[in-house]
Amino acid sequence: MTENTESTPIEESQGTLQTENTVDIIINYNDFSLQELINKVSQFNDFQNIYSVAKEVETIKSVFYKKLSEEKTASKTSFIQTGGDEGDFIFDPKTENNFKSIYKQFKIKKAEYRSKQEQEQAINLRIKKSIIDEIDSLTKGEETIKDTFENFRSLQEKWYNTGAVPPSHKNDLWQSYHHHVELFYDYININRDLRDLDFRKNLERKTDLCEKAEALDNEELLNKAHNELQDLHEAWKEVGPVDKEHREAIWERFKTATRVIHKKRNDYFLELKKKNTRTAELKEKICQKIIAVYTILPETHVDWQRASLIVLDLEKEWKSLGRLNKSENSKAWKRFRQVIGDFYNEKNEFYKQRKSNLKSELEKKVAICEKAEALQDSTDWKSTTEKIIQLQNDWKKTGYVPKFQSEKIWNRFRKACNSFFDKKKAHFKYIDAKKSENLKNKTAFLNELSKKTFTNMGKGCITELQNITKDWNKLGDVSRGNEKLEKQFQQIMDGFYKSLKITQKELDELKFKNKLEDIKENEFKIEKERQFIRNKISERQKEIAQYENNISFFANSKGTEKLKEQVFQKIAACQTKIEELKQQLRLLNEL
């Protein structure tokens, strides 16, 4: 079995910086501010071996632009929510320009370093090719074995001290070197003891490399162990052959130690891949939750505020899940930005439309306020109360207007409403107090009136009785629940009128005139009485129609004449009553 001389590729470390002193430092750049990230790249620009921090700088670049994008989005959202127009938003490019300038310096130094390395590797390639040619020429010279071997040792030492060559030539060059070394040993047929001594030294060196490879199993930093293993493989290639007895065993030992490190590293990345898959699934579930928030679009400012808080919490949860591998992380970020962008686009569209409606809604509020102000001095308490309550309901139905605009008009509207209701309250408070006083006065009036007597005094007492009614009416209304006072008064007055020598018709006319005197100042009572009379007229007309209908059923015989006469009398009585009611209606309309 031949030795495997190919090295294992080194994977870019994430969040791990290998300094010029080869010390691993774990750094979470997500905790850095934008300016701190710029400062860090500036520090790396001072490194002599710029390649040792190249991957770290690229990681910083990725984090920088992610944070810059988040800051732009947050600044734009704040600008729009405070009333700015999306098309007017401008983000200060100073920070990004500073980063670009520092990063450009890094790229220039990296290019210079690469050019220098390529020049050095080209020189080393020429040197090592010349060493191989010289080893080949040793087999064709005429020097003594001792001199030839010493020259060979010198060439070997020169080979070991010569630096790296271009990667594309490394393997072929080493194979050529190894081939010519073996040819040299076979050709010169040097002393077996010297050859065995060389084999033993090579075995010791390879054994040391095996022990170092086996010790890497205790190294906790996998990337460090992997990088050191690559160095050991490079060193292995530089060591000459060992005797055939140990050649296979020592190579198998070195391979076994290599497999242990590779397996541990592969297991780690396999677990990392599983974790990456789980994290990607969780991130996608959060995206689905965000989509669900605005699948049914919120319709009010409060709903959008509530939805925004939910999305912010989901955004924090998404970010707290950590990074994915490079390719998956890019896809996840693209998906997340799309979902977040869709949410804020819908939100911005809502507030844009809302802004266009603000003027219309403010005009509605002003119109309602003006109507309330026009009603605030009204004394039509019942009707105006209903109108103002309706205006209050209309106000509640108007849309959102910013506080700095709505507060002034709201205070104005509330002042108009309060003005009316305060006056209404004061009015009815006065009425209640007046009615309470009227109750006392009417009670005292009744007590005095009950002591009077009118017996057989004739029509001469009518004027006095009318004056009593006028005096009673002047005392005003009383509160509800005290209607019995009015009833008592009417009973007393009915008794007085009955004691007079007047007909019932005259009595009814007097009572009606007294009633008119009582209600003449109250439009509501006048209308109520007017409707009452109309209803009475309607009832009498229906009675007449019914009587006339009944007459048509009577036969033309002597036995029914008496009944027909009675019906005619009732019809006449109804017609007389209708005329009296119509006269009352005329008197009522004259008020």
Cβ neighbors of 401 (< 8 A, separation 6 or more) are: 358, 361, 362, 365, 409
Same domain, 345 and 374: no
Which structure tokens are listed for 33? 């501010």
| Residue 439 counted as domain residue | no
Encoded tokens for 498: 């009955």
Q: Do residues 63 and 155 both lie within one domain?
A: yes
CB of 56 within 8 A of CB of 17? yes
**pLDDT of amino acid 129:** 86
With respect to residue 241, please indicate whether it lies within any of the assigned structural domains: no
> Greater confidence, 188 or 2?
188
For residue 22, the model assigns a pLDDT of: 38
Q: What is the pLDDT of residue 256?
A: 93
168 inside domain: yes
- 147 Cβ contact list (under 8 Å, min separation 6): none
Q: Which residues contact 71 (CB under 8 A, 6 or more apart)?
A: 34
Residue 415: per-residue pLDDT: 93
Q: What are 284-342's pLDDT values in tens digits? A: 999 999 888 888 888 787 888 888 899 999 989 998 888 888 778 888 888 889 988 88
Query: Helix axis angle, 403-449 relative to 484-498, nearest 10°?
Result: 30
Residue 266 CA to its chain's centroid (Å): 43
Same domain, 420 and 499: no
- How does DSSP classify residue 154? H
Amino acid at residue number 379? T
253 found inside a domain: no
Q: Do 556 and 474 belong together in one domain?
A: no
Predicted local confidence at residue 517, as pLDDT: 74
pLDDT class of 192 with cuts at 50, 70, 90: low
407 and 393 in a single domain? The answer is: yes
For residues 519 and 337, the model is more confident at 337
Per-residue confidence (pLDDT) for residue 77, from 0 to 100: 80
Q: What is the mean pLDDT of residues 15-23?
A: 43
Please tell me the distance from the alpha carbon of residue 547 to that of residue 365, in angstroms, as a whole number. Answer: 62
Backbone dihedral angles phi then psi of residue 113, each to the nearest 5 degrees: -65, -40
pLDDT at position 520 over 90: no
**pLDDT tens digits for 116-165?**
888 888 898 898 888 888 888 877 766 666 677 788 888 888 888 888 88
**Within-domain flag for 91:** yes
CA separation, residue 590 to residues 212, 516, 534, 583, 584 (Å):
128, 10, 16, 11, 10
Long-range residue pairs from 501-509, CB within 8 A, at least 24 positions apart, any chain: 501/456, 501/458, 501/459, 502/459, 502/462, 505/580, 508/580
- Report the SS3 class of residue 26: strand
Any domain includes 5: no
Q: Is residue 533 in some structural domain?
A: yes
What's the token pair of residue 399? Answer: 């849309």
Tell me: do 24 and 123 sit in the same domain. yes
pLDDT of residue 142: 63
Q: Distance between CA atoms of 461 and 455, rounded to whole angstroms? A: 10
pLDDT tens digit string along 429-469? 888 888 888 888 888 888 888 887 765 555 567 777 778 88
Q: Which residue has the tokens 């002047």?
A: 474
Q: 484-498 and 462-474 helices cross at what angle (nearest 10)?
A: 170
SS (H, E, C) 451-519: CCCCCCCHHHHHHHHHHHHHHHHHCCCCCCCCCHHHHHHHHHHHHHHHCCCCCHHHHHHHHHHHHHHHH
Task: Domain of residue 396: give its range.
Answer: 361-430
Q: Cα–Cα–Cα angle for 109, 114, 118, nearest 5°?
A: 150
Q: Which of 71-75, 211-215, 356-360 has the highest mean pLDDT?
A: 211-215
Is there a single domain that holds both residue 482 and residue 535?
no
Mean of the per-residue pLDDT values of the chain: 81
One domain, residues 174 and 312: no
Predicted confidence (pLDDT) per residue in 69-108, tens digit: 888 888 888 777 777 777 777 888 888 898 888 889 888 8
Across 52-62, average pLDDT: 86
* 2 band by pLDDT with thresholds 50, 70 and 90: very low
Q: What's the pLDDT score for residue 43?
A: 85
Q: How many domains does one find in the chain?
A: 5
75/56 same-domain check: yes
Average pLDDT over residues 10-36: 57
Neighbours of 280 (CB within 10 A): 18
Task: Give the whole-number percent of the chain exceeding pLDDT 90.
Answer: 12
In a domain, 347, yes or no: yes
Confidence at 249, pLDDT banded by 50, 70, 90 = very high
Is the pLDDT score of 393 beyond 90?
Answer: yes
Q: What pLDDT is stored for residue 529 in this prediction?
A: 84
484, HSE (Cβ side, Cα atoms, 13 Å): 3
Establish how many alpha carbons lie within 13 A of residue 264's alpha carbon, considering only the half-sphere containing its beta carbon.
Answer: 18
Q: What is the rounded CA–CA span in Å between residue 531 and residue 98?
A: 91
Given pLDDT bands bounded at 50, 70 and 90, which one contains residue 207?
A: very high
* pLDDT mean over 232-255: 88
Q: Give the mean model confidence (pLDDT) for residues 200-207.
A: 90
> What one-character DSSP code corresponds to residue 501?
S
- C-alpha pair distances (Å), 448 with each of 303, 458, 471, 472, 515: 72, 22, 13, 12, 21
Residue 398 sits at φ, ψ, to 5 deg, of -70, 155
Considering 190, 213, 246, which residue would you say is the last residue of a domain? 190
Q: Are 369 and 413 in contact (CB under 8 A)?
A: yes
Domain stops at, among 321, 356, 391: 356
Clarify whether residues 424 and 564 are in a common domain. Answer: no
Identify the pLDDT of residue 14. Answer: 39
Q: Is residue 559 over pLDDT 70?
A: no
DSSP letters spanning 342-384: HHHHHHHHHHHHHHHHHHHHHHHHHHHHHHHHHHTT---HHHH
The SS3 call for residue 416 is: helix
Burial grade of 318 (CB within 10 A; 0-12, 13-18, 19 or more): buried
Please state which of the ranges 29-38, 186-195, 288-297, 336-345 shows the lowest mean pLDDT: 186-195
Same domain, 178 and 56: yes
Same domain for 169 and 40: yes
3-state secondary structure of 314: helix
Tokens linked to 38: 């710029």
